[in-house]
């Protein structure tokens, strides 16, 4: 029993580290998201837009917080059958963690939650030709344990998206952990 009591604090601290602990968003702290990230999961109310060859299916590589508060994303996505690198800038809006970009319509991008070093969840609202589409994306700096995926599913549910609306991106081309040998690896072809 002594051994059990000694192991209890260790197991409790491990449990705390293995569950998502979001940090409140503040404009000045968004600089901490700068770094290499990988696509873990995506969800949408229009699955064809995030499935293979979808116009909103992206594999994040790097996020950089710019001096003016905007976020620069380095993505990979499919263009005419090739996986190519694309850089986009989401302009800072008034609210904390809110950004906008014009791409296939008007888009509002919101940081829903993050701990700034292990995971980040984004919500994109796209308006194109009078049609609204929402996309949620979970990015990580390394593979995430199941509690982060469970939390992402819960967040999706609050936006009316079920498990059937979620795609695992970790084993799909440009985001595969095995395919990414270094953060500076050149774009891969499919």
CA distance 164 to 116: 28
Note whether 98 and 189 are within 8 A (CB): no
| pLDDT score of 18 more than 60 | yes
Looking at the domain assignment, is residue 99 inside a domain?
yes
| pLDDT score of 81 more than 90 | no
Range of the domain at 96: 22-175
**The model's pTM:** 0.81
At 171 the pLDDT is 83
Give 138-166 pLDDT, tens digit per residue: 999 999 999 999 999 999 999 999 999 99
Largest CA distance in the chain: 66
Looking at the domain assignment, is residue 186 inside a domain?
no
CA distance 51 to 37: 20
At 99 the pLDDT is 97
Task: Work out the mean pLDDT of the chain and round it to a whole number.
Answer: 83
Q: Classify 13 as helix, strand or coil.
A: helix
At 17 the pLDDT is 53
Looking at the domain assignment, is residue 182 inside a domain?
no
Quick count: other Cβ atoms within 10 Å of Cβ 156?
Answer: 24
At 174, the pLDDT band (50, 70, 90 cuts) reads: low
CA distance 49 to 46: 6
Looking at the domain assignment, is residue 15 inside a domain?
no
At 64 the pLDDT is 97
Looking at the domain assignment, is residue 10 inside a domain?
no
Looking at the domain assignment, is residue 181 inside a domain?
no
Least confident of 13-22, 31-40, 168-177: 13-22
At 5, the pLDDT band (50, 70, 90 cuts) reads: very low
At 14, the pLDDT band (50, 70, 90 cuts) reads: very low
Note whether 111 and 31 are within 8 A (CB): no
At 83 the pLDDT is 84
Report the CATH number at residue 110: 2.40.128.20
| pLDDT score of 187 more than 60 | no
Q: What count of Cα atoms within 13 Å lies in the side-chain half-sphere of residue 39?
A: 29
| pLDDT score of 50 more than 80 | yes
Looking at the domain assignment, is residue 146 inside a domain?
yes
> How many folded domains does the chain comprise?
1
Torsion of CA 22, 26, 29, 33, to 10 degrees: 50
| pLDDT score of 92 more than 50 | yes
At 120 the pLDDT is 96
At 21 the pLDDT is 78
Looking at the domain assignment, is residue 157 inside a domain?
yes
Give 25-39 pLDDT, tens digit per residue: 654 578 999 999 999
């Amino acid at each position: 029993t002594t051994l059990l009591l000694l192991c209890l604090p260790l197991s409790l601290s491990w449990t705390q580290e293995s569950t998502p602990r979001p940090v409140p968003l503040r404009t000045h702290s968004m600089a901490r998201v700068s770094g290499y990230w990988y696509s873990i999961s995506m969800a949408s109310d229009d699955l064809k837009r995030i499935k293979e060859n979808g116009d909103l299916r992206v594999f994040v590589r790097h996020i950089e917080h710019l001096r003016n508060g905007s976020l620069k994303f380095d993505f990979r996505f499919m263009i005419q059958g090739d996986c190519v690198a694309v850089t986009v800038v989401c302009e800072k809006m008034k609210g904390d963690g809110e950004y906008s970009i014009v791409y296939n319509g008007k888009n509002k991008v919101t940081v829903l939650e993050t701990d700034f070093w292990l995971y980040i969840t984004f919500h994109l609202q796209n308006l194109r030709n009078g049609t609204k589409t929402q996309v949620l994306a979970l990015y990580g700096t390394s593979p995430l344990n199941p509690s982060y995926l469970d939390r992402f599913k819960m967040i999706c549910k609050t936006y009316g998206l079920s498990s059937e609306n979620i795609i695992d991106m970790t084993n799909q081309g440009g985001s595969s952990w095995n395919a990414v040998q270094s953060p500076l690896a050149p774009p891969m072809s499919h």
